[in-house]
Structure 1
Amino acid sequence: MNIALIGASGFVGSALLREALARGHRVTALVLNPQKLQAQPNLAAVKVDVLDEAALADKLRGHDVVLSAFSGHAQSDVLGYYLRGIRSIIAAVKKADVPRLLVVGGAGSLEVAPGVQLIDTPQFPAEWKATAEGARQALQMLREEAELDWTMLSPSALLEPGQRTGKFRLDDDRLVVGVNGESRISLEDYAVAMIDELEKPAHSRRRFTVGY
């Protein structure tokens, strides 16, 4: 499959890149700094500013799917930058006539009780609120989208490097919590779940989540 991966050099994006290449897909990595990516077979690194909608659409044309790991973590205005970026991505995907958009979501908008989202609980870390709020608003944008075939994958509360086991649980809008009371998923298994969805769509126009 011919994949356009936005944010391929980032924390989540780099894991998605490794998994996609390992499965034999062709990946166009759309990044601000292509020099950060090591040359590999089936990988083309292309410089683009996500906020430049017209330029982004031009780079997306001809791909089978767009996979967005875009984030605003490094920006001073995390929320504002992220929302401008996700709006640009949605518009560019439509302009480029790419049939599918897969988006890296956040755990904050997952329910921990009926009608209660993780981001709105007292224990949610303040330093991650802007990022989580951006992902929550992005999900709402997608749910209001009438044209795109989209999917968002939210991780568990704890997403960190670990092992690629290929063994995990999926759910829709509920935070996945293990028998030990922890909500976690390795970066590697998150990537497995996302590329599984890319290869065999099971959550069209829906959000889902993954955890142990």
Structure 2
Amino acid sequence: MAKKRRNKIMKIILDKWNSQRLMMSNLKEEEISLVQDLYETSRYMNQWDGQEYNPEHIKNCFFEGHLPPDGKVENYRIQTIRNNKDQKIIGILSVYHGYPAIECIYLEFLYIDKSIQKQGFGQEVINQFTELTTELGYKEIRINVSIKNWLAIKFWIQSGFNNVCGIYGDSEYSEHTYANLELIKIL
């Protein structure tokens, strides 16, 4: 019985799924360059997380995944977010299934093109993603957000990620130190 339940929980999000205005689908190899260009517009976030910009990030995610410790590529997905109106790629979503526990899904990265943020697209993705992951049997969604990224913290808390399960990074605050909150949305 336990094995049957485990298989149910480890279902992977669909290769293609929709919300009212958007379509999410697995990244295709021929889209890597375009999506890397979009990813580059998120470089401003490096001021909050201290990460170096990687011009090969999307390519690396496509071929190797962006995995947690002991992670498996087959549990990782990177997807594009397209506007239904014109099919233009407007965002990126990447997730890892089954981390840190089998009943968890880790939303590793969500980004909507800066030029069209604040139009409800991110919230729309999260609402539909929450519905899908609940249907798949997950019990929680986890995210990691920089403490210095106030707008993101506000967005995630308003999206129901209101349980803090950890604070990681530097122990003292300064312009050159960084820390992250790990937030959970219980499904």
TM class, shorter-length? 0.3 to 0.5
Relative to the length of structure 2, the TM-score reads 0.41
Relative to the length of structure 1, the TM-score reads 0.37
Q: Which has the higher strand share?
A: 2
